[in-house]
C-alpha cells in the first residue's frame, strides 16, 4: 500500500511538472502575434506597391501599343498618299504597271496585315447603300483626307479570310482642279486608292512584341460596350488590371481596353518578405518558448531545492533544539544569527530574542576581540581550526550571573569570519565541586581532631 502511494505521488509530481512546462507562454504569444502583424502589414504594403508598379507598367505598355498602332496607321496614310500621287500622274497606266509598282513596295514583307492596295475609279457605283465602305469613301471624297470604314463582314471580301477587316480610302483628284470646297472636290474626283487592312493581324503582331501577356479588346466607337467588341486577344477577368485608350484615325473612333493579370509568383519581393517574416516570427517564438521552458525547469529545480533546503533546515533545527547544550552561531561582528532552544533556556530569554544580540551582552568579557585572541592562541592544523574550550560567566535575562563552559570554533563563510559556540551551564557542577571540597575539608578536620584526642 505504501509503495502504491509513493508511485502515485511521483506520477502526480511528473504530471504537475509537465503541465507547468506546457502552460501558455505569454512572451511567445506576444512575439508571434507581433511578428505576424508586422509581417502581414509589410506584405500588404509591398503588395500595394507592386500592384501600383504593375499598373504603371500596364499604362506604359498600353501607351506603347497605342503609339505602335498610330505609327502603323500613319505608315498606311503615307502609302496611300504615295500611291495616289503616283496614280494621279499616271492615270492611264496599265494593270501590269500598277502590279509592278505595288510589288516594288514589298508590302507583303513590311506590312503583312495590308492585304491589298488598289485604285478604284468607280467606288461609289460598286458599293451598296448598306455597305460599311460607302460612308468611308464618301467621307474621304468630301474631306480629301484618308478615311477608314467600320468592320467589314466576312462575305464582303472572301479572299481576306475571317478577321477584323477594314478598308482605307484616299481620293484621287485631277491634278489641276481646285479643291477648296466640298463641291469642287466632288467634281474633281477621278477615283480613290483603296487599302484592305486586317487589324487583328496588326494587333497580334504589336502585342507579341510589346506586351505578350496582355489581353486587348477593341471596340467600335467611344464606349467599351460588349456588343460593339470587334477584337479580343483572350478572355479577361474583372479582377485584372485595366487600362483604356481612345484611338482615332480616318474619321473613325475605336476604344482599346488592355488588361493584365496581377503577378502573384513567389519570386516577388512581397512573398519573399512574407516568407522571411514568418520564418523570423516562428524562430523568435520557438526561442522564447525554449527560454520559457528552461526558465520553468529552473524554477521547478529551484522550488525542489528550496523544499529540500527547508526540509534540511527543519531537520537540523530539530536536532539542534533537541541538543542538551546551547548552540550559538555568530557573524563577523559577534552578533547572534541563530540559537537553539537550549541556549535560549540557559539565558532565560524567549524564543527568537537572542537574534542580533552581541555575545558580550550575555557573556560579559567575550567580545569580538576576545574571540580573536582565543582563536589566535591555537594553531590550526590542515586548514581546520580546532575546538577551543574555555570557561566564562553568563548573564541571564534577569541579571543573574552563572558559570558557563563553552567550546569555540572559528570558520569562514562566503569570505567572512563566523563563530560557532556550544554553551553549557555548569552551575550544578560548580556547586557540587564546592560541596565536595567542603566535605573534604570537614573530613580532614575530623581526622585531625581524632588524632589529638588519642
Report which of 401, 385, 417 is spatially closest to residue 347, judged by C-alpha positions. Answer: 401
Please report, in angstroms and rounded to a whole number, the separation of the first and last CA atoms in the chain. 84
Same domain for 136 and 239?
yes
Whether residues 153 and 245 fall in one domain: yes
Q: Which parts of 175-268 fold into alpha helices (H)? A: 182-188, 199-210
Do residues 117 and 208 both lie within one domain?
Answer: yes
CATH classification at residue 145: 3.30.450.350
Q: How many domains does the chain fold into? A: 2
In a domain, 341, yes or no: yes
* Same domain membership, residue 193 and residue 125: yes
Last residue of a domain, one of 260, 279, 306: 260
Burial tier of 5 (Cβ tally within 10 Å: 0-12, 13-18, 19+): exposed
Asked if 106 and 246 sit in the same domain, the reply is yes
Q: Contact at 8 Å (CB) between 146 and 80?
A: yes
Collapsing DSSP to helix, strand or coil, 72 comes out as helix
Which range among 82-96, 113-127, 388-402, 428-442 shows the weakest confidence by mean pLDDT?
A: 113-127
Q: Which three cell numbers stand for residue 189?
A: 474626283
Helix (H), strand (E) at residue 326: strand 326-330
> Looking at residue 433, what is its pLDDT?
83
Residue 222 lies in a domain: yes
At 278, the pLDDT band (50, 70, 90 cuts) reads confident
Q: Is the domain of 326 the same as that of 431?
A: yes
What are 227's three cell numbers?
456588343
Residues 77 and 160 in one domain: yes
Mean pLDDT of the chain: 80
CB contact at 8 A, 117 and 195: yes
- 198 located within any domain: yes
- Is the pLDDT confidence value at 265 over 70? no
- Residue 363: CATH number of its domain: 3.30.450.20
Give the position of cell 463582314: 153
Q: What pLDDT is stored for residue 202 in this prediction?
A: 85
Is residue 200 domain-shared with residue 89, that is, in the same domain? yes
| DSSP 8-state assignment for residue 91 | T
Per the structure block, which three cell numbers stand in for 280?
523570423
Asked if residue 408 belongs to a domain, the reply is yes
Range of the domain at 357: 317-439
On whether the CB atoms of residues 169 and 136 are closer than 8 A, the answer is: yes
Is residue 244 domain-shared with residue 331, that is, in the same domain? no
Look at residues 260, 280, 296 and tell me which one is the last residue of a structural domain.
260
CB distance 167 to 122 below 8 Å:
no
Instruction: Among 226, 260, 294, give the residue marking a domain's end.
Output: 260
118/225 same-domain check: yes
pLDDT band at residue 328 using 50, 70 and 90 as cut-offs:
confident
Q: What pLDDT is stored for residue 153 in this prediction? A: 79
Neighbour-count burial of 76, counting CB atoms closer than 10 A to its CB (0-12 exposed, 13-18 middle, 19+ buried): buried
User: Contact 192/171 with Cβ under 8 angstroms?
Assistant: yes
Cα distance between residue 339 and residue 409, in whole Å: 15
238 in the same domain as 147: yes
DSSP string computed for 346-377: HHT--TTTTTT-BHHHHSTT--HHHHHHHHHT
Residue 291 lies in a domain: no
Are 323 and 230 in the same domain?
A: no
CA angle at residue 46 from 43 to 48, to 5 degrees? Answer: 110
Question: What pLDDT score was predicted for residue 21?
Answer: 46
**pLDDT band at residue 16 using 50, 70 and 90 as cut-offs:** low
Amino acid at each position: 500500500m505504501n509503495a502504491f502511494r509513493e508511485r502515485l505521488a511521483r506520477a502526480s509530481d511528473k504530471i504537475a511538472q509537465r503541465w507547468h512546462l506546457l502552460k501558455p507562454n505569454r512572451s511567445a504569444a506576444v512575439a508571434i502575434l507581433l511578428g505576424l502583424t508586422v509581417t502581414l502589414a509589410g506584405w500588404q504594403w509591398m503588395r500595394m506597391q507592386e500592384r501600383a508598379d504593375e499598373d504603371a507598367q500596364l499604362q506604359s505598355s498600353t501607351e506603347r501599343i497605342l503609339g505602335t498602332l498610330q505609327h502603323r496607321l500613319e505608315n498606311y496614310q503615307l502609302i496611300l498618299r504615295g500611291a495616289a500621287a503616283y496614280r494621279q500622274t499616271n492615270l492611264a497606266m496599265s494593270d501590269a504597271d500598277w502590279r509592278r509598282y505595288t510589288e516594288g513596295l514589298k508590302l507583303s514583307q513590311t506590312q503583312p496585315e495590308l492585304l491589298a492596295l488598289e485604285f478604284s475609279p468607280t467606288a461609289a457605283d460598286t458599293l451598296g447603300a448598306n455597305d460599311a465602305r460607302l460612308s468611308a469613301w464618301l467621307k474621304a471624297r468630301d474631306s480629301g483626307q484618308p478615311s477608314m470604314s467600320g468592320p467589314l463582314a466576312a462575305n464582303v471580301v472572301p479572299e481576306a479570310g475571317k478577321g477584323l477587316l477594314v478598308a482605307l480610302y484616299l481620293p484621287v483628284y485631277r491634278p489641276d482642279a481646285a479643291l477648296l470646297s466640298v463641291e469642287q472636290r466632288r467634281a474633281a474626283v477621278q477615283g480613290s486608292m483603296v487599302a484592305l487592312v486586317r487589324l487583328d493581324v496588326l494587333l497580334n503582331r504589336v502585342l507579341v512584341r510589346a506586351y505578350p501577356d496582355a489581353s486587348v479588346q477593341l471596340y467600335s466607337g467611344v464606349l467599351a460596350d460588349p456588343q460593339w467588341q470587334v477584337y479580343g486577344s483572350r478572355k479577361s477577368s474583372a479582377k485584372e488590371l485595366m487600362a483604356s485608350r481612345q484611338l482615332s484615325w480616318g474619321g473613325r473612333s475605336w476604344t482599346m481596353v488592355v488588361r493584365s493579370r496581377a503577378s502573384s509568383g513567389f519570386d516577388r519581393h512581397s512573398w519573399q518578405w512574407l516568407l522571411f517574416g514568418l520564418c523570423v516570427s516562428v524562430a523568435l517564438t520557438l526561442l522564447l518558448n525554449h527560454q520559457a521552458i528552461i526558465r520553468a525547469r529552473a524554477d521547478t529545480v529551484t522550488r525542489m531545492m528550496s523544499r529540500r533546503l527547508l526540509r534540511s533546515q527543519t531537520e537540523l533545527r530539530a536536532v539542534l533544539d533537541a541538543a542538551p547544550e546551547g548552540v550559538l552561531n555568530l557573524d563577523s561582528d559577534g552578533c547572534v544569527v541563530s540559537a537553539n532552544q537550549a541556549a535560549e533556556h540557559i539565558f532565560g530569554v524567549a524564543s527568537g530574542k537572542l537574534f542580533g544580540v552581541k555575545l558580550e551582552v550575555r557573556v560579559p568579557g567575550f567580545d569580538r576581540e576576545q574571540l580573536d585572541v582565543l582563536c589566535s592562541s591555537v594553531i590550526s592544523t590542515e586548514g581546520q581550526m580546532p575546538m577551543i574550550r574555555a570557561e566564562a560567566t553568563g548573564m541571564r535575562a534577569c541579571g543573574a550571573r552563572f558559570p558557563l563552559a563553552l567550546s569555540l570554533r572559528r570558520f569562514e563563510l562566503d569570505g567572512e569570519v563566523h563563530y560557532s559556540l556550544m554553551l553549557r551551564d555548569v552551575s550544578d557542577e560548580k556547586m557540587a565541586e564546592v560541596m565536595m571540597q567542603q566535605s573534604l575539608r570537614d573530613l580532614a578536620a575530623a581526622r585531625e581532631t581524632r588524632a589529638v584526642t588519642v
